Amino acid sequence: MHNVIIIGSGCAGLTAAIYTARANLAPLIIAGAKSGGQLALTTEVENFPGFPAGILGPTLIDNIKRQAERFGAKYLKVDAVSVDFSGKPFKILTSSETLETKAVIIASGASAIWLGLESEQRFIGKGVSSCATCDGYFFTNKNVVVIGGGDAAIEEATFLTKFADNVIIVHRRDALRASKIMQDRALSNPKISFKWSSALEEVLGQDFVTGVKIKNINSGEVEEIKIDGVFVSIGHKPNTEIFKGQIDLDVKGYIVATNETKTSVDGIFVAGDVQDHVYRQAITAAGLGCRAAIDVEKYLASSEK
């Protein structure tokens, strides 16, 4: 019987592990086969406090993991296959065993929706990104493309104009889907241009992105453009498939939190991007992980009275 099991090993889950471990709760982290969250796919991180020269994303994750293990957290690099939150103790089925626990922190994160191109995947962290706030600075005085036409894509493109010389929005339709105010901002920005009725065909480069092939959907014509970065902004998907029917989710699949980190099931807590679809930053995820850990500590203390 575990005191607390943490599902997820990004900033939120590992921060929660540090705090619960220091509270002598001996947390167990179900890290997932692809551990580390979004930071594991990132190269340089320059906006995480405490690292004035920046730090590599995987290095930052490894540092937080080792810090949690120093205080007694255990780490399983397996996936949670299913959960049963219908009664106590809570049950979590992994690929190898069934685990029982008094409390759970869900920090399974959200995944960027990618186009699925082989070249796109090859250049993630090497010029291909899904987060302008995270990586925009690296493209100062450079040229980038943004894939998408909704509010998120237009917001990313507008943000990128603070750094990049030119931002090209590539959209499959002949008109944007974004709200009117966001459209007006983009259409009036001299740094932003558009490739309408177009799709990303291929990302080009050797070690880093040097260009893209853009295909016009109507004519079939393929154009090659020299470019330094590609920002894919077609949405995020919360990693909540195994929690459907177990706890309350919103219409987009994000976990609904009440009273900070509590979910609809007493004893189940949530932290990070699996709940937060607004900020999606490493530091905000870490902060939510801290909150969830403190809430779990209070919950277990009151349960034992």
Distance CA 238, CA 246 (A): 15
Residue pair 158/189 in contact (Cβ under 8 Å)? The answer is: yes
Residue pair 40/64 in contact (Cβ under 8 Å)? The answer is: no
Per DSSP, the three-state class of 89 is: coil
Q: Hey, CA dihedral for 213, 217, 219, 220, is it positive or negative?
A: positive
Catalytic-role residue among 62, 79, 84, 135: 135
Per DSSP, the three-state class of 227 is: coil
Q: What is the residue whose two structure tokens read 């992994």?
A: 94
Residue 179's contacts (CB-CB under 8 Å, 6 or more residues apart) are: 151
11 in active site: no
Distance CA 85, CA 243 (A): 9
Catalytic-role residue among 11, 79, 131, 276: 131
Per DSSP, the three-state class of 149 is: coil
207 in active site: no
Catalytic-role residue among 11, 62, 84, 134: 134
List residues with catalytic annotation.
Answer: 131, 134-135
